[in-house]
Amino acid sequence: MNWLLVVAGAAVGAPLRYLTDRAARARFGPGFPWGTFLVNVVGSFVLGLLTGVTSAQVHLLLGTGLCGALTTYSTFSYETLKLYEDGARGYAALNIGASLAAGLGAVWLGVETARLW
């Protein structure tokens, strides 16, 4: 039955990723991959929060399912390469640096927030 928790989380995470990307493109344009950046940072924060949760079922639902479908390393990699190939090397470097810094900061903030509970 554990796989159903992963499926349920993924059923929410995948559409959230898609909708976030569409909303970010509509708001900020296609020049920088804001949608991917946002879902990866939010997913990092949620995973950090989950360090304070002892329930394996919650980890399966939210960590593996929701965050697994919400976040995306492959899309981040592809979009960064595409920026570089299209001549937007500064944006490619910004995407790498900002994604790494924001993701690490978000997971740290999530862990610290979980410790407060």
Which tens digits make up the pLDDT trace of 2-44? 999 999 999 999 999 999 999 999 999 999 999 999 999 999 9
User: How much is the pTM?
Assistant: 0.94
Please report the pLDDT score of residue 52 as a whole number: 82
The domain total for the chain is 1
Would you say residue 115 has pLDDT above 90? yes
Is residue 75 annotated as involved in ligand binding?
A: no
Angle CA 43–109–80, to nearest 5: 45
CA-wise closest residue to 76 among 49, 50, 94: 94
Q: What's the domain range around 81?
A: 2-116
Residue 70 near residue 13, CB atoms below 8 Å: yes
What are the tens digits of pLDDT across the range 38-92? 999 999 999 999 988 879 999 999 999 999 999 999 999 999 999 999 999 999 9
Angle CA 79–11–105, to nearest 5: 50
Is residue 113 annotated as involved in ligand binding?
A: no
Q: What share of the chain is helix, strand, coil (3-state, %, to 5)?
A: 85, 0, 15
Dihedral pair phi/psi, residue 31, rounded to 5°: -65, -35
Please report the pLDDT score of residue 117 as a whole number: 83
